[in-house]
Amino acid sequence: MLIAAALFAGLVAGLLLARAWRPLLDRRRRWQHSIAGVDSREAPTVSAREALSEQGHILEMIATRAPMPEVLDRLVQLAESQVKGVSASILLLDNPDPTPLPAPGTGWSTPILSHSEAVLGSFVVHAQDGWAPTAHQRHCIESAARLAGIAIERQRSEQRIRHMAHHDELTGLPNRALLQDRMTQALGQARRTGRPLALLFLDLDGFKYINDSLGHEVGDRLLRAVAGRLQAIVRQGDTVARLGGDEFVVMLVDLPRADEAALVAHEIVQALSRPLRFDERLLHVTASLGLATFPADGDSAELLLKQADAAMYRAKAEGRNGFQCYTRDMGLQALQRVELQSALRLAVEHDQFELHYQPQVAPESGRIVAVEALLRWRHPVLGNVSPDRFIPLAEETGLIAPIGRWVLRSAGRQLQAWHAAGHTRLVMAVNLSARQFITQDIPQLVRETLELCGLPPQALELELTETALMHNAESVHATLSTLKAIGVLLALDDFGTGYSSLNHLRRFPIDTIKIDKSFTAEIATSDDTAAIVRAIVEMAGSLGVEIVAEGVEHEQQLRLLAALHCHRVQGYHIGRPMPAAELAPLLGVPDEPPSCDLMLDETHDAATPLAS
């Protein structure tokens, strides 16, 4: 059945040959031969022994990777020498050369098949009108077609392997190896012509969240779409490469002036920030780009790539969705970042973390009703490293998972100690990073912590940022509902800084909102800000949501917030984050007498090993 189908395909292929199919070889010589009137039917056919030996030669040519046109030429000659009076040609389905063939008198063809029976082309013989192949002639031509199939398939798989070694499988873009090659060539050319070259290092913002929350299929589609947009922007001769993950490099060559690269960078930022539609979903993705140029910023491929990478990190630090040109101080910072990353790994192993606690006071009573656990890293050489520096690094490296687990358990143990000391209504607020929220089984971690520390769930408040809620609303909703069912409190951190704060409040089961420091900072000086804070407090009141105002640094701010009936206030004016031992005396009179079993240690050592 398959063979019949293949033969039929061969016939169809033969009929279509003059129009759609394209000759691989320049057959003109052969056609001229027959048109010129040399009666090739008179040519003697080769003996079976000679034909066999020629087949052997051809197989050897295939095995030794002789050029394909030569192999096919030999096969054509073999067929012509075996079948008296015909001229032969090989037509390939995907030959890019559209030379039309002269119309034959009578044509007969057999398909050239791959080992999986896919049609690769057709072996065509042309003869005078009325000619039809004998069984033996068919056999000869089909044998030649089989050898052609082997040769073509072998060449294609070699091409495929070569392509795979130099291209990214997902996007089809050049990979790091090919980019390196092209950069070396382009640098040579730039040196000769004196025309600048630019490298743009591009990293998508928040791609990991999209991948983790919406799944790898969406992530892959997004990467392909980004590749498409980048390719649409650059000129022929420029290179768009994917280094892996969400990192792309664009190499712009032969620039009239180095600053032209900034225009392209700007265009890329604009193009990528346009929403992408996947099925029913609109995805917003932005990118941070770093730009380094030759000769100004470096004279080797490695150095330029490193500088562009450093500039990209600056673009991230400057708020993302933009680009930065390389400057000297960035190199130093990049080095520091790499060092910090390995130091952070060691910090996990060497228990260099501790927790500080910042009080949250109820303005009406002046009592500490809650504390926020804030992570501190004391490095033996670097000293105190700010969480603003190491939390993003921990997220990037995945270390946030073990660190986050340690934070929750240590804070839980400390709260257990304070509860046992009689401060039974004290609430512990713990920050969850967006990445941790998506990649870890938070409900399970929370259950374990509550059980381990014997805490009532309402004593634990989990602070989430809007970034954590932004992606994959359904799964976030499910996780929050599970946490709600466990009974812990959920707080929305930095409220008012995101672009759909109110929307999040409507959709998710939030118990507390923390008005961002930036509002508190202006509450006493800007009527507009005061009005916004008042509106937030009123709205929260009608939704039954508690309000915490953070960043209270002055007495006047405290008074205004108290007058607005904020439930809790937090800030340097009330108390800075401090070790548990310093905070303990500020907790005031216990609500209940201390429990005997835990009276011994009111200030649990937060530096509990991560493994515990």
Q: Which is closer to ligand LFPHGCPZ, CB of 303 or CB of 393?
A: 393
Local structure of 286: helix, strand or coil: strand
Nearest Cα neighbor of 170 from 257, 234, 261, 241 is: 241
Sign of dihedral through CA atoms 249, 254, 258, 262? negative
The residues in 487-506 that bind ligand LFPHGCPZ, with binding defined as CB under 6 A, are 493-494
Binding mask 546-585 for ligand LFPHGCPZ (x = CB under 6 A): ----xxxx----------------xxx----x--------
Binding mask 379-398 for ligand LFPHGCPZ (x = CB under 6 A): -------xxx--x-------
* Integer Cα distance of 176 and 5 in angstroms: 43
Q: Which is closer to ligand LFPHGCPZ, CB of 168 or CB of 461?
A: 461
Largest CA distance in the chain: 119
* Integer Cα distance of 89 and 78 in angstroms: 11
The residues in 119-148 that bind ligand LFPHGCPZ, with binding defined as CB under 6 A, are none
Distance set, CA 378 to CA 64, 65, 346, 355 (Å): 64, 62, 12, 11
Binding mask 503-522 for ligand LFPHGCPZ (x = CB under 6 A): -----------x--x-----
Q: What residues contact 98, with CB distance under 8 A and at least 6 apart? A: 22
Q: What residues contact 549, with CB distance under 8 A and at least 6 apart? A: 514, 515, 519, 520, 533, 557, 561, 566, 568, 569, 570, 571
Task: State which of residues 358, 410, 414, 449 lies at the interface with ligand LFPHGCPZ (CB under 6 A).
Answer: 358
By CB under 6 A, tell whether 238 contacts ligand LFPHGCPZ: no
Q: How far is the CB of 276 from ligand LFPHGCPZ (least distance, A)?
A: 29
* Integer Cα distance of 199 and 211 in angstroms: 26
Q: What residues contact 470, with CB distance under 8 A and at least 6 apart? A: 209, 434, 498
DSSP 91-141: EETT-S--PPPPPPSEEEEEEEE-TT--EEEEEEEEESTT----HHHHHHH
Q: How far is the CB of 429 from ligand LFPHGCPZ (least distance, A)?
A: 8
Q: What residues contact 348, with CB distance under 8 A and at least 6 apart? A: 399, 402, 403, 610
Q: Where are the beta strands (DSSP E) in 480-523?
A: 489-495, 512-515
Q: Which is closer to ligand LFPHGCPZ, CB of 262 or CB of 393?
A: 393
Q: How far is the CB of 373 from ligand LFPHGCPZ (least distance, A)?
A: 6
Binding mask 422-441 for ligand LFPHGCPZ (x = CB under 6 A): ---------xxx--------
Q: What residues contact 27, with CB distance under 8 A and at least 6 apart? A: 76, 87, 89, 101
Q: Which is closer to ligand LFPHGCPZ, CB of 73 or CB of 550?
A: 550
By CB under 6 A, tell whether 541 contacts ligand LFPHGCPZ: no
* Integer Cα distance of 516 and 536 in angstroms: 11
By CB under 6 A, tell whether 466 contacts ligand LFPHGCPZ: no
Contacts with ligand LFPHGCPZ: how many residues (CB under 6 A)? Answer: 25
Q: Which is closer to ligand LFPHGCPZ, CB of 461 or CB of 602?
A: 461
Task: State which of residues 13, 141, 183, 407 lies at the interface with ligand LFPHGCPZ (CB under 6 A).
Answer: 407
Three-state secondary structure of 234-245:
CCECEEEEEEEC
Q: Which is closer to ligand LFPHGCPZ, CB of 288 or CB of 358?
A: 358
Q: How far is the CB of 440 from ligand LFPHGCPZ (least distance, A)?
A: 11
Q: Which is closer to ligand LFPHGCPZ, CB of 205 or CB of 493?
A: 493
Q: How far is the CB of 395 from ligand LFPHGCPZ (least distance, A)?
A: 8
Query: Using CB under 6 A, which of the segments 106-114, 207-215, 259-267, 372-380 binds ligand LFPHGCPZ?
Result: 372-380
Query: Using CB under 6 A, which of the segments 71-79, 235-243, 266-274, 369-377 binds ligand LFPHGCPZ?
Result: 369-377
Asked if residues 265 and 322 have their Cβ atoms less than 8 Å apart, the reply is no
Q: Which residues bind ligand LFPHGCPZ (CB under 6 A)?
A: 358, 372, 374-375, 386-388, 391, 407, 431-433, 463, 493-494, 514, 517, 550-553, 570-572, 577
